[in-house]
Amino acid sequence: DSGVTQTPKHLITATGQRVTLRCSPRSGDLSVYWYQQSLDQGLQFLIQYYNGEERAKGNILERFSAQQFPDLHSELNLSSLELGDSALYFCASSPDMAGGNSPLHFGNGTRLTVT
């Protein structure tokens, strides 16, 4: 168990809808990262938050947004969903102490299916 909790585990919704994915980082970790993994592909970095503030943005669509709350949990909001948004969405956390050899610890992911 990585200590990173993601809910829900599965989500099925229709095109045009909006969903919210939730992530609780490991205790003590200040950084939260969101990644998207489409079918049989590697992980694409979406966005990172550190202690409540956005730190880095990757290939995140304008229809997507995220935030990190004072208790350090994070939410990823996906709106105007399209079929191509179907993917496994991962949250990962790290203590973010000078990077170094600290791995990212991943949650089990939320599998989003857009029909």
30 close to 50: Cβ distance less than 8 angstroms: yes
Residue 5 found at the interface with other proteins (CB under 8 A): no
User: Residue 46 is inside which H or E element, if any?
Assistant: strand 43-50
Q: Which is nearer to other proteins, 7 or 50 (CB)?
A: 50
- Among 17, 18, 56, 59, contact with other proteins (rule: CB under 8 A): 56
- Judge if the upstream peptide bond of residue 70 is cis by omega within 30 degrees of 0: no
Residue type (1 letter), 93: S
Contact footprint for other proteins (CB under 8 A) = 2, 31, 33, 35, 41-45, 48, 50, 55-56, 58, 88, 90, 92, 94, 96, 99-109, 111
